[in-house]
Structure 1
Amino acid sequence: MVRLTASRLLPVALGAALLASCATTPPKVVQAPAPVTEAQLPYEWTHGHAPKATKDARALFGTVALKAGDYRWAPTIPDAPARVVIDRLQQLMFVYKGDQLVGLTTISSGKKGRETPLGYWKVFRKQVKGFSRKYDNAPMPYMQMYDEKGIAFHGGKLPGYPASHGCVRIPVEFAKKLYGLTTTGTEVVIEG
């Protein structure tokens, strides 16, 4: 004969209660997620810098459809601060001087798992002949760093899709023009 002591009785009672509750609890109904609305698309949090830049580019250059490595540049306005708007979704960079769009280029942002971070930044370091400390001293011509972790925009290869380790690659000639236009403190907005 087995004697049930208090120490043996408690686990048995808890197990029985758990089984009883499982038997009487109806199964959860899982609903399919609702379709994504336009308001939930990537620009939801961004205050619309990239969509506005796209409209400005169409007005100034007639298109935003560029082949990988292509860019457009317009005469610049003197005495106005520069601002850079990067759209990861469209893989484009827009350059402003004051409120006037002056440049548009294709980019290659960070690949999956090393995505270029979204947000508001400022250029804090510039170097004509920059090199990556993290990635085998890889060249970063006309480098403009805006993130303390070493992320920058610079001249580089543009395959037509996100392929970098987090930096934003732009055509070297565009990077050279941009380098002459910006200063430390230039605002950088990354959306998409």
Structure 2
Amino acid sequence: MLLKKRLQFLYPWCLIFFLFSLMHGLMAEREKNFQWIRSQTEVQISEIIVSLSEQKIYAYGTNGKLVGTSIISSGKENFSTPAGEYQIIEKEKIHYSNLYGYIVDRNGNILRPGSSKERISKKWHFRGAPMPYFLRLTNSGIGFHGGPTTGRPISHGCIRLPMDFAVKLFTNTPIHTRVLVFN
């Protein structure tokens, strides 16, 4: 009986320890998904290369050396990220999509998550999805931004980056930086 009570007391702590260990392992795994070379932290980015087949980004400094690399999530089927040569044409720390987001009521309650802009009643309105640390590549809305990344194409065309990587890329990348996106 005493052993049973002790086990009942220990069970929540074991569960907490297990969940903490699992979370720590997942966080450590997530950190492996990108690398920013410490000696290159203050280097200005001069070229960004994106491999859609690898779902990876490579950022190079003005010295020609690799500064950072990360997994990405590019455009999913029917929303593919276009390959090509681009330049960063705009930087916006806080940007909202004008095409994808949420349908909300007057009180701001989300009624339809993951919605595209469509006919909306007078009681509802569209709220664009947040796209933090946005680096625009095209006038049609394609760009880099922080967001969920899986290493698989899941976006509506943008190139999603892990948030920590997005902050570093945004901070160190000037307007007119060359970007090459290839399959």
Summarize deviations over 1:110-161 as a string: whole Å, max 9, x none: 0011110000000011011111011121010100001110001000001231
CA contact (8 A) 2:147 2:162 kept: yes
Query: Deviation at 1:73?
Result: 0.7
Tell me the TM-score normalized by structure 2.
0.65
CA contact (8 A) 1:68 1:159 kept: no
Taking the aligned partners of 1:77 and 1:135, their CA distance within structure 2 comes to 33
Taking the aligned partners of 1:72 and 1:112, their CA distance within structure 2 comes to 28
RMSD: 2.0
CA contact (8 A) 2:43 2:172 kept: no
Identify the structure with the greater strand proportion: 2
Pairs within 5 Å for 1:1-192: 70-74=33-37, 75-76=39-40, 81-98=45-62, 99-136=64-101, 137-192=128-183
Q: In 2 relative to 1, CA 100–162 (structure 1 residues): closer, same or farther, beyond 3 Å? A: same
Taking the aligned partners of 1:154 and 1:72, their CA distance within structure 2 comes to 17
Summarize deviations over 1:46-87 as a string: whole Å, max 9, x none: xxxxxxxxxxxxxxxxxxxx8698200112286755211000
The aligned counterpart of 2:117 is none
Taking the aligned partners of 1:178 and 1:105, their CA distance within structure 2 comes to 11
Q: In structure 2, list runs of 5 or more residues that go unmatched.
A: 1-28, 102-127
Q: In structure 1, list runs of 5 or more residues that go unmatched.
A: 1-65
Q: In 2 relative to 1, CA 183–158 (structure 1 residues): closer, same or farther, beyond 3 Å? A: same
Q: In 2 relative to 1, CA 101–128 (structure 1 residues): closer, same or farther, beyond 3 Å? A: same
Summarize deviations over 1:1-26 as a string: whole Å, max 9, x none: xxxxxxxxxxxxxxxxxxxxxxxxxx
Paired residues, what number? 127
Taking the aligned partners of 1:67 and 1:181, their CA distance within structure 2 comes to 22
Provide the identity percentage: 34
CA contact (8 A) 1:69 1:106 kept: no
More contact order relative to length (CA 8 Å, sep ≥ 6): 2
Taking the aligned partners of 1:69 and 1:180, their CA distance within structure 2 comes to 21
Q: In 2 relative to 1, CA 185–131 (structure 1 residues): closer, same or farther, beyond 3 Å? A: same
Tell me the TM-score normalized by structure 1.
0.62
Structure number, greater radius of gyration: 1
